[in-house]
Amino acid sequence: MKMYPCVCLDLDGTMYRGTDVVPFAAEFVRSLQSQGIQPFFITNNASKTPTQLVEKLHSFGIKTDEEHVVSSALATAYYVKTRYPNQQVFAIGGEGVQHALQAAHVSIVKENSDVVVMGLDRELNYDKLAQGCLEVARHREFVVTNGDKKFPTEVGMYPGNGALAKVIEHATGVEPTIIGKPFGYMLEMIQAMHDFAKEDMVIVGDNYDTDILAGIHFGIDTVHVNTGVSSTVEVQEKDLKPTYLLENLREWTLELSH
């Protein structure tokens, strides 16, 4: 495998699973950093702020800073700010979504909004979903941080934001605009902000339907690791295959050490 100046690493299922670090993930990051490469960590998880994501990575022995963390919440806030300037937003989502919108100086309201933004909300209830449906029905502008149907934890798969957003989609008939992977918006942000050529970029992830397809659609190399959502057997059956298939990141770490 060649050396990539820009390595984009997925988090859930690639770096950690819930409260457990993925074997060899921390060692791989340290191998990159020892060779002068500071990887980017990109995640569809919109529930946490960049500070919280950095702290979680640090707890696993993975050192980075907020400049190298890009979440779908941050990308969504940027999208809304530029696509819907001065519009009022009804937001469903945890601290990550609220923080990103506030940092982008987006006006957040509890009703009579112009746009609805939805990210994973661990305190989601029927009333929030019902209000979300009413707000989407007003202007039919529905932006979702990511379409993940599920995500891996230390005890198994939990329902993702995409599964929950389907409730509002089915109730209103409005198909949302999805910002996170498999769309390349976060990769595009990294490329634009740091002036990388696409041939210098690679995305590494466990989920074929998000991580790998994001890289394929954006036109960069991809690495699938067999540590999370999609098994190697499943990925080998796909028509569009990743550039590389690894059992885990130890295989790449050994190459980097040579």
Contact (CB, 8 A) for 257 and 27: no
The whole-number average pLDDT for the span 80-109 is 94
For residue 20, say whether it is annotated as part of any ligand binding site: no
Report helix angle 72-83 to 95-103, nearest 10: 40
Average pLDDT value for the chain:
93
| CA dihedral of 83, 84, 85, 90, whole degrees rounded to 10 | -140
pLDDT exceeds cutoff 80 at 256: no
62 Cβ contact partners less than 8 Å away, ≥ 6 residues apart: 15, 21, 25, 26, 29
| Predicted confidence band of residue 257 (pLDDT cuts 50, 70, 90) | low
2 is in an annotated binding site: no
The pair of structure tokens assigned to 149 is 């149907």
Q: pLDDT tens for residues 147-166?
A: 988 877 778 888 999 999 99
Give the pLDDT band (50/70/90) at residue 44: confident
What is the rounded average pLDDT of the residues 7-22? 93
H helix or E strand, kind and range, residue 179:
none
pLDDT at 85 over 80: yes
Over residues 138-155, the mean pLDDT reads 88
For a pLDDT cut of 70, what percent of the chain falls above it? 98
pLDDT of residue 46 exceeding 80, the answer is: yes
For the chain, the structural domain boundaries read 6-44+181-256, 74-178
For residue 127, name the pLDDT band (cuts at 50, 70, 90).
Answer: very high
According to the annotation, is 12 in a ligand binding site? yes
Q: And the tokens for 21?
A: 């670090």
Q: Is 221 annotated as a binding residue?
A: no
Round to whole Å and give the CA distance between 165 and 144.
7
Instruction: Give me the CATH topology for the region 6-44+181-256.
Output: Rossmann fold (3.40.50)
**Whole-prediction pTM:** 0.84
What are 50's two structure tokens?
């960049």
Q: Note whether 6-44+181-256 and 74-178 share their fold.
A: yes
Alpha carbon distance 258, 256 (integer Å) = 6
Band of the pLDDT at 33, cuts 50, 70, 90?
very high
User: For the segment 197-216, what is each residue's pLDDT rounded down to a tens digit?
Assistant: 999 999 999 999 999 999 99
Tokens of 54: 């950095």
Superfamily of domain 74-178: HAD superfamily/HAD-like (3.40.50.1000)
When pLDDT is averaged across residues 106-130 and rounded to a whole number, the result is: 96
12 is catalytic: yes
Dihedral of CA 53/55/59/62: which sign?
positive
pLDDT recorded at residue 258: 59
Select which of 10, 209, 211, 221 is catalytic.
Answer: 10
Rounded Cα gap, residues 32 and 20, in angstroms: 21
Confidence of residue 18 (pLDDT cuts 50, 70, 90): confident
Tokens coding 76: 């969504």
